[in-house]
Structure 1
Amino acid sequence: MSVETKKLFKASTAFLAVLAALSGTGLSELGLGLAMANPAGGEESIFLDDVPVVLSASRLSQPINEAPVAVTIIDRQMIKDSGAWDLSEIFRLVPGMYVAYHADPYYSADSTVAYHGMVTTTTSDRMQVLIDGRSVYASLFGGVNWSDLPIVLDDIERIEVIRGPDSASYGANSYSGVINIITRHPAETQGTMISMAFGNGRKESIFRYGGKSGALSYRLTASIREDKGEDDRIQRPTSAFTFWNLNKFDNKTIQNLNLRADYQVNSADTLEFQFGYNGGPREVGEYNNVSAISRRAENHFEMLHWRRALEGGGELSVQAFHTVERVYARLKDSDGVSDGDAILRRYDLEVQHTFSPFKNARLVWGGSIRYDQTYAPYYLGVGDNQYLYGDFPYHLRRFFGNLEWRARPDLVFNVGGMIENNTYTGTDTTPRVAVNWHMQPGHTLRLSHSRATRSPSVYEKTYDSYWRSAGFYPGLPEMQTERVKSSEIGYIGKYGNLDVDFRLFYDDYSQLIDVRNKRSAAGGNLNAGTAIMRGYELQLKAQLTDKTRLIYGLSGGGVKSDNVNGVVYSDSLPKYNHNLLLSHKINEQWSTSLAAYQVAKTKFNSTDFNPRENRAYFIDGNRRFDGRLNYQFKVGGKSAECSLIAQNIADARYFEYRHDNELPGRALRLNFRLDL
């Protein structure tokens, strides 16, 4: 047993002893549960009253205290209370999540959303993101362009954030965590809704109509948003050099159209269809580097999902979707004006079956196939090899399964994994085993261990082929997947109106990829990086009164790495990260909320290091406050509401991710909504 593992288990033992003391019982007495018969003759837990259910952790619907991984649930009310303008901002409420505003200076002026640091690129390519189970993880650079997603906040029912690797359920690229955005059923959005927002450099209009015809429910949402983004000039630059006085080009117009239709074919079968479009002009670039003379996004998707309810609570489902992400761009750089067009296509088919193989057990299993095409001459032309203009094909095949077995009413095992084969790196297996022990009603201990991978992006694979080509480094080994071994000890407890979620984790990363400079190729291995990450997370939810709710998150830890090839992973996890959301309903008409965030100094981008310009690896810590005041009323007998939202109330001027990425100052906006 390693020294770090010993430390982790010592900490867990001490923590368990504290729980025992709080519970008023000894360690030897914990977990002596009782059984009760269910109608099927099996046994079920008596410890599940008033426990939220999660859908994403293992692909089974489970109480959160029986999921094999830690999960944060962001519900509709939290989204409203946060006052978030961008979808990405919501994830500041997740313990361990790092969010930077408009961090990308060269491909898409969009936010960075990263779980547990380890951010060496702005795309945050080590986390899987799903919308209703549909992967929106981009193939070109990896990660997600948040502004290019065809979705509006008001159509979201809830968001489940899996805090930790989950390749066992969702395959490669679920490397550090998974975000699953679940939209509202059309039956819950009937009628007409209009919404308008106006603020500092921001305005948005939304129209939504929901209808029903027999067994068919549908919803159509259309919106247009204009966002001027960051201030043109940095208010508190770290250098007098002109480059570090200017923010990035990031003005954008976002046009969204989304259709969802659900048809109840019969008592057992349902069909769901979704279509989405996102487009509009976007700015991207930075001073004296790549900047877009003109750039426009044109994205769309189509998805069809069939479900059949089976006897005994089982289900058979088939999901197919097609996605096109298209960029039209004219780019200006040192070579003059270049064609920056890019087209990313994806075809995906997945089959999933859930059933009970034996008493007190449930099994979900299935498989999927995927085909990606990527066309991006400007970004994939490497060095003098500008002939690399064709489509880059990518094939993916998966087989997955997870068995949930209730050995006793107080003891639940989850054992699962995925076998995955792709064009770039061949076949990988990512298993997971977890046990959840209900020590007493309201107190659960979770132990789990899993393996996860991240496959190279098209950009990385292209550079891999380039470095290994004749005349460069012909003996260079072929690039492999990044790997992580993850162990965790979690606790979920309930003390009256207080819910506690605590987690200790230990992650061992290996084969970390770097293709950005010749040092990695000269060193003989593009997968040379390693890192050890250990830390903790705490999430508290308290219903202080029937009108007041408090949500608080705290995380911290550290990263140690060999930092090979000039990629500095050490200290890329903030020493601490706080988030707080306090909401209060004043009366039937008025309500208010306050959100607060604090992040310790953090090292993210080593290329920003320049002692002569008074910049070090570290970005200073920051603190931010957002507030919302909401008034509900009637207009002609119809429900309406008006909200005043203030972001960055203290007008703090701090940097996120880089020293040329200054958060916009205080931003006020007024939002009006009417349900017709």
Structure 2
Amino acid sequence: MWNRRPAATAALVAAGIGLAVLLSPEVRAADPDLQALKGLSLEQLADLQVSIVSKRPERLADSAAAVYVLTEDDIRRSGYTSIPELLRLIPGFNVARIDTAEWAITTRGFNGRFANKLQVMIDGRSVYTPLFSGVFWEAFDTLLEDIERIEVIRGPGASSWGANAVNGVVNIITKHAAETQGTLISGYAGNAQRGGAARYGAPVGEHGYLRLYAKYDDRLAEPNLVEPNLTGLLDDDDFSASRLGFRGDWDLAPTDNLTLQGDVQSSDAEDPWLSGGNLMLQWDHARASGATDTLRIYYDRSDLETGIDNENLTEDLDTIETEYRHRFATLGRHDLNAGLGYRWYNSRIDGSDLNGADPAERQFDLLSAFVQDEIRLLAERWYLTLGTKLEHNDFTGFEIQPSIRTRWNPRPDATLWAAVSRAVRTPSRGELDLFGESAALSGDSAVLGLPIVFRSTGVSVMESETLNAYEAGWRWRPTPVLGFDLALFYNDYDELRTLELSAAELSLVPYPRWVIDTTPDNRLKGQTYGADLVVDWRPSDTLKLQAWYSLMRMDLQPDAVSTDPEAAVLAGRYPQQEAGLRAGLDLRSDLELDLYARFVDQLPDFDVDAYLELDARLAWRLDPKVTVALVGRNLLNPSHLEYGDETLGGTPHLIAREVMLRIDIRY
């Protein structure tokens, strides 16, 4: 494991920044093209090639799914410093900050600290943990300036990406190393966080490019919600993280490209502490026939340390995956895409007599295959896509996740689409193997003065959660500067996870207490339905406006025998309505103003009130190499609450207003 001392992590990043500075004179000055910093027009955005729906490039406007793309310009002008913050910009996504480091992020329902129905990737490499089928957002990051775009599906994407791509898919795509040549140094500091980053890129031989980067972030504690009257006190939930990474791209031949990339990181959120690294190799080959091949292999190592009532729990996780994809040359009306994949895990969990895993070490794997065929029913007008993902895992065996998607283009500037698909969320290792105790209530005379604790117990068998999804959408660009995107959905879930409670029993070992066992089961079903509407208006090169509105309802039905007290109230933990309004204005050629107002509805089960907040960025480009920006977040209120106290989650914190100054220097 990495040394947890802040001095060590700071020194690590300082070394990376120093390396970039020392090497920078060897690189010719790379003045960025100012015009390239401008955002895409609506027509250019519609023509943007995305691959998140079917693992093959297609126009964004032609995607038969609720797809959204966060562009490089969106990221740059946001002023945000982490990936979870960037996801706030995506229409229909619910992003709730729990405390300084922890987040609850998903789309279309079932949010939480351990939300488990969102597949998240970076350059196609899955970053979800099999410990709970979700993402440790505090450890998921990269240099934001290296991101080319973020592709998102609101809704299932399991026919391409497999299990856990139930409610949505996020793929963060980083830039080719040739696009990040020269030196970048950035730093920011404010009342709530400070950090810095450096990147150095240079040619490698005649046909290759390489970049190195280092990033450090330090965030102060948020107010802790400790009183019913919302009194806030600071606690020890401060956060620091450091990361080093590289990417190299080589054009081996006109038909062959090779990419090698990797990162190492350490994130200290007091509880948990996470560290690790990854290395990925990808080879792309274009055949003379028009067919293409892609081979991806990666290794990931992660170490987790968390404390439960002063009992440490650690996990060492190794992951190896290989995937091969082949896109066939066009066969008449058919565009066929297929692939095979294999993923292997080795997880070792060490704890104590009260907290741990049984077995302590487990190896498990996932074997998958997928095939998709886009059929041209009417040239340039009507298309049908049939696809399925076939998987075998060690927990539930064989799973099939098919989809049928169709789109119709009644005119060049309009697309109607519809889809029916099936997705599953397979059980996690935590549900099957983990056991542990956590304090529930302090004792009083009614319980003989003894404390009451929850004791989690794993199960030997659990079913996969299943979703049958029905979607439809409409995209229309009536003028070159105005665009509409409407998506409707109805999701039918079955075998949803519950945490069943036993009656309290007196236990005297290792100390006297009342124990309530919590056991995972599949005793919940339900439906969600709603709509997302996005409106883009770009009346000029200097003004961009986007408004969005999301509406969702949940209807959940626990089994009559279920003892899970939270199963029937989950609908009250997701906002029924959300809305956003984003404005980007070029005040002058060297002065930018960006505003983002967002509304999030109440969470009744958590007693979290609806709130309206505003983020802002004012940036001055001193010259093509230097930009200074003043960034403000949550400017409308001194603080507000975004999430509540879950049985297995963290303590809710007030999210405070913050302001910071940022400088970016490029050579």
Q: Which residue of 2 aligns with 1:629?
A: 618
Q: Which residue of 1 aligns with 2:470?
A: 487
Preserved contact between residue 633 and residue 659 of structure 2 (Cα < 8 Å): yes
Q: Pick closer, same or farther for the CA change 1:56–1:196 going to 2, 3 Å.
A: same
Q: Take 1:432 and 1:275, find their aligned partners in 2: how far apart are those partners?
A: 33
Q: Secondary structure at the residue paired with 1:187?
A: helix
Q: Which residue of 1 aligns with 2:75?
A: 79
Q: Which runs of 5+ in 2 are unaligned?
A: 1-42, 438-454, 504-515, 646-650
Q: Which residue of 2 aligns with 1:394?
A: 364
Q: Which residue of 2 aligns with 1:431?
A: 402
The one-letter code of the counterpart of 2:361 is D
How far does the alpha carbon of each residue in 1:538-558 deviate from its partner, in whole angstroms, 9 at most, with x for none?
A: 112221222100122210020
1:361 to 311, 314, 334: 334
1:175 to 150, 166, 179: 166
Q: Given the alignment of the two structures, is residue 281 of structure 1 paired with residue 251 of structure 2, yes or no?
A: no
Q: Take 1:523 and 1:274, find their aligned partners in 2: how far apart are those partners?
A: 42
Q: Pick closer, same or farther for the CA change 1:260–1:579 going to 2, 3 Å.
A: same
The one-letter code of the counterpart of 1:342 is E
Mapping of residues 322-341 of structure 1, within 5 Å: 322-328=299-305, 331=307, 333=309, 337-341=310-314
Q: Secondary structure at the residue paired with 2:588?
A: coil
The one-letter code of the counterpart of 1:209 is Y
TM-score using structure 1 length: 0.81
Q: Take 2:389 and 2:557, find their aligned partners in 1: how far apart are those partners?
A: 30
Q: Take 2:495 and 2:328, find their aligned partners in 1: how far apart are those partners?
A: 37
The one-letter code of the counterpart of 1:176 is N
Q: Which residue of 1 aligns with 2:639?
A: 653
Q: Pick closer, same or farther for the CA change 1:643–1:387 going to 2, 3 Å.
A: closer
Q: Which residue of 1 aligns with 2:220?
A: 228
Q: Take 1:482 and 1:118, find their aligned partners in 2: how far apart are those partners?
A: 12
TM-score using structure 2 length: 0.82
Q: Take 1:301 and 1:387, find their aligned partners in 2: how far apart are those partners?
A: 25
Q: Pick closer, same or farther for the CA change 1:212–1:504 going to 2, 3 Å.
A: same
Q: Which residue of 2 aligns with 1:254?
A: 241
Q: Take 2:128 and 2:609, find their aligned partners in 1: how far apart are those partners?
A: 30
Q: Secondary structure at the residue paired with 1:570?
A: helix
1:350 to 323, 339, 342: 323
How far does the alpha carbon of each residue in 1:36-63 deviate from its partner, in whole angstroms, 9 at most, with x for none?
A: xxxxxxxxxxx99953321111111111
Q: Take 1:269 and 1:298, find their aligned partners in 2: how far apart are those partners?
A: 34
Q: Take 1:592 and 1:473, find their aligned partners in 2: how far apart are those partners?
A: 50
Mapping of residues 296-311 of structure 1, within 5 Å: 296-311=273-288
Mapping of residues 107-506 of structure 1, within 5 Å: 109-119=101-111, 121-213=112-204, 214-231=206-223, 233-234=224-225, 237-239=227-229, 246=233, 249-284=236-271, 296-328=273-305, 331=307, 333=309, 337-378=310-351, 388=358, 390-408=360-378, 409-462=380-433, 478-496=461-479, 497-506=481-490
Quote how far apart the aligned CAs of 1:457 are.
1.2
Preserved contact between residue 511 and residue 528 of structure 1 (Cα < 8 Å): yes
The one-letter code of the counterpart of 1:530 is K
Q: Pick closer, same or farther for the CA change 1:207–1:444 going to 2, 3 Å.
A: same
Q: Take 1:247 and 1:513, find their aligned partners in 2: how far apart are those partners?
A: 34
Quote the RMSD (CA, aligned, Å): 2.9
Mapping of residues 540-559 of structure 1, within 5 Å: 540-559=535-554
Q: Pick closer, same or farther for the CA change 1:669–1:387 going to 2, 3 Å.
A: closer
Preserved contact between residue 530 and residue 562 of structure 1 (Cα < 8 Å): yes
Q: Which deviates more, 221-230 or 49-58? A: 49-58
Preserved contact between residue 82 and residue 581 of structure 1 (Cα < 8 Å): no
Preserved contact between residue 419 and residue 430 of structure 1 (Cα < 8 Å): yes
Q: Which runs of 5+ in 1 are unaligned?
A: 1-46, 285-294, 467-471, 604-615
Normalized per residue, which structure has more strand? 2
The one-letter code of the counterpart of 1:138 is T
Q: Which residue of 2 aligns with 1:8?
A: none
Q: Secondary structure at the residue paired with 1:446?
A: strand
Q: Which residue of 1 aligns with 2:92?
A: 96
Preserved contact between residue 279 and residue 299 of structure 2 (Cα < 8 Å): yes
Q: Pick closer, same or farther for the CA change 1:653–1:524 going to 2, 3 Å.
A: closer
Matched length: 583
How far does the alpha carbon of each residue in 1:65-117 deviate from its partner, in whole angstroms, 9 at most, with x for none?
A: 3223110100111112222232101112222211111359xxxx421111122
Q: Which deviates more, 570-579 or 553-562? A: 570-579
Q: Pick closer, same or farther for the CA change 1:387–1:571 going to 2, 3 Å.
A: closer
Q: Take 1:296 and 1:575, find their aligned partners in 2: how far apart are those partners?
A: 33
Once the two structures are aligned, what percentage of the paired residues are identical?
A: 26
Quote how far apart the aligned CAs of 1:654 are.
1.9
The one-letter code of the counterpart of 1:277 is V
Q: Take 1:523 and 1:218, find their aligned partners in 2: how far apart are those partners?
A: 50
Quote how far apart the aligned CAs of 1:384 are.
5.6
How far does the alpha carbon of each residue in 1:478-532 deviate from its partner, in whole angstroms, 9 at most, with x for none?
A: 311100000011001102111111011000000001246348x999981111011
Q: Secondary structure at the residue paired with 2:522?
A: coil
Q: Which residue of 1 aligns with 2:532?
A: 537
Quote how far apart the aligned CAs of 1:229 are.
3.6
Preserved contact between residue 558 and residue 571 of structure 1 (Cα < 8 Å): no
Quote how far apart the aligned CAs of 1:250 are.
2.2
Q: Take 2:308 and 2:361, find their aligned partners in 1: how far apart are those partners?
A: 24
How far does the alpha carbon of each residue in 1:358-403 deviate from its partner, in whole angstroms, 9 at most, with x for none?
A: 113211100101111222234xx7x868573622222100010111
Mapping of residues 50-69 of structure 1, within 5 Å: 50-69=46-65
Q: Take 1:94 and 1:50, find their aligned partners in 2: how far apart are those partners?
A: 17
Preserved contact between residue 140 and residue 344 of structure 1 (Cα < 8 Å): no
Q: Which deviates more, 251-260 or 94-103? A: 94-103
Preserved contact between residue 443 and residue 492 of structure 1 (Cα < 8 Å): yes
Preserved contact between residue 491 and residue 529 of structure 2 (Cα < 8 Å): yes
Q: Take 1:506 and 1:248, find their aligned partners in 2: how far apart are those partners?
A: 42
How far does the alpha carbon of each residue in 1:111-143 deviate from its partner, in whole angstroms, 9 at most, with x for none?
A: 111112212x41221100000000001111221
Q: Pick closer, same or farther for the CA change 1:539–1:357 going to 2, 3 Å.
A: same
Q: Take 2:87 and 2:264, find their aligned partners in 1: how far apart are those partners?
A: 23
Q: Take 2:494 and 2:366, find their aligned partners in 1: how far apart are those partners?
A: 22
Preserved contact between residue 509 and residue 530 of structure 1 (Cα < 8 Å): yes
Q: Secondary structure at the residue paired with 1:147?
A: helix
Q: Take 1:223 and 1:463, find their aligned partners in 2: how far apart are those partners?
A: 34
The one-letter code of the counterpart of 1:130 is M
Q: Which residue of 2 aligns with 1:42?
A: none
